[in-house]
């Protein structure tokens, strides 16, 4: 079999080009720190990499949701603690005001403090977060929830919806409570003692009766019921804060695990790559030297 000089030289050139291509790929891997430069390098690993990156991004979004929920819930927790303290004081005043040893002027003084604390409670119910959203308006977060009306009662302008945030693939958590669940549903008027579901109206009725020197013990029951309701919500808020902390830890572990697997899938083993690069460099140099020698082996050089 005869092999032409041009064919031998072309084969040598092809071999050098192939060596250069492999060397360039290794060099690119070293410069990027990634062993997968294109999906075609390892289609299965590339698909796995995409899946892991999506999982990491999604879980990190859950972590962002947890932070947002924690800010709102922690703010609500602080508001409820203040409201509970105010209600405890109002209850003390109510017990004091029901004492028959009080004079009418004494009861007016008690009523005045009650009314001041009631205004404080309304202010707490209308608390807004750093984004200017009302905490207790449900979905209508741009609308002030509670206001006093001309009938002497109170009006709720929010809704009864509870906003939730996704904190895991199959888990959501409420980041607040509608005002009617916390402070009760107002009757938009001033019902008689013992018939008040809304705490503001209950206190207003109690203070009004104290001013007229006719306090009704049923008003104290209204305040006690409102306090119990608020304590229940406060306990629920505490449970949600604990749930956020636990889920945040679970999510952090998941992200760490996915990043570890992703690193094993994508990241380059530098020691192995440098060794490979050195071997490919030597191979290319050998091929180039061989080509130089083969070029001299032509009959035309001896004619």
Going by pLDDT thresholds of 50, 70 and 90, the confidence category of residue 261 is confident
Going by pLDDT thresholds of 50, 70 and 90, the confidence category of residue 2 is low
Average pLDDT over residues 100-128: 96
Average pLDDT over residues 64-82: 96
Going by pLDDT thresholds of 50, 70 and 90, the confidence category of residue 44 is confident
Strand partners, 236: none
- Burial readout 61-90 (b: 16 or more C-beta within 10 A, e: otherwise): ebbebbeebbebbebbbebbeebeebbeeb
CA angle 24, 273, 11 (to 5 degrees): 40
Average pLDDT over residues 175-188: 94
Please tell me the distance from the alpha carbon of residue 51 to that of residue 48, in angstroms, as a whole number: 5
Residue tagged 């530098």 (tokens): 270
Average pLDDT over residues 60-83: 95
**Whether pLDDT at 36 is above 70:** no
Average pLDDT over residues 73-101: 96
Lowest model confidence (mean pLDDT) among 47-51, 222-226, 268-272: 268-272
Please tell me the distance from the alpha carbon of residue 24 to that of residue 28, in angstroms, as a whole number: 6
Going by pLDDT thresholds of 50, 70 and 90, the confidence category of residue 52 is confident
Average pLDDT, the chain: 84
More confident residue, 27 or 62: 62
Residue tagged 């017990």 (tokens): 95
pLDDT at 126: 97
Going by pLDDT thresholds of 50, 70 and 90, the confidence category of residue 50 is confident
167 within 8 A of 174, measured Cβ to Cβ? no
**Whether pLDDT at 65 is above 80:** yes
**Whether pLDDT at 158 is above 80:** yes
**Whether pLDDT at 25 is above 80:** no
Going by pLDDT thresholds of 50, 70 and 90, the confidence category of residue 260 is confident
**Whether pLDDT at 1 is above 60:** no
Phi and psi for 155 in degrees, rounded to 5?
-120, 135
pLDDT at 9: 58
**Whether pLDDT at 202 is above 80:** yes
């Amino acid at each position: 079999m005869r092999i032409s000089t041009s064919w031998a030289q072309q084969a040598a050139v092809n071999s050098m080009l192939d060596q250069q291509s492999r060397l360039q790929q290794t060099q690119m891997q070293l410069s990027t720190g990634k062993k997968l430069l294109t999906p075609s390098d390892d289609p299965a690993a590339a698909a796995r990499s995409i899946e892991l990156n999506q999982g990491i991004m999604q879980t990190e979004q859950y972590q962002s949701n947890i932070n947002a929920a924690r800010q709102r819930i922690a703010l609500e927790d602080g508001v409820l603690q203040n409201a509970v303290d105010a209600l405890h004081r109002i209850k003390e005043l109510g017990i004091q005001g029901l004492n028959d040893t009080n004079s009418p002027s004494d009861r007016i003084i008690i009523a005045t403090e009650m009314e001041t604390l009631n205004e404080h409670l309304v202010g707490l119910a209308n608390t807004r977060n750093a984004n200017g959203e009302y905490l207790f308006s449900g979905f209508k977060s741009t609308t002030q929830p509670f206001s006093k009306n001309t009938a002497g009662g109170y009006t709720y302008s929010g809704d009864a919806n509870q906003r939730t945030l996704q904190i895991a693939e199959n888990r959501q958590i409420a980041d607040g409570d509608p005002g009617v669940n916390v402070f009760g549903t107002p009757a938009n008027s001033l019902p008689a003692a013992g018939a008040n579901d809304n705490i503001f109206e209950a206190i207003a009725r109690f203070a009004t009766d104290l001013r007229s020197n006719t306090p009704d013990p049923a008003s104290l029951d209204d305040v006690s019921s409102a306090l119990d309701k608020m304590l229940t919500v406060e306990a629920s808020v505490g449970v949600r804060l604990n749930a956020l902390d636990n889920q945040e830890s679970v999510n952090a572990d998941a992200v760490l695990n996915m990043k570890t697997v992703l690193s094993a899938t994508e990241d380059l083993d530098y020691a192995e790559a440098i060794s490979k690069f050195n071997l490919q460099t030597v191979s290319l140099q050998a091929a180039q030297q061989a080509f130089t020698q083969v070029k001299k082996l032509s009959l035309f050089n001896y004619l």
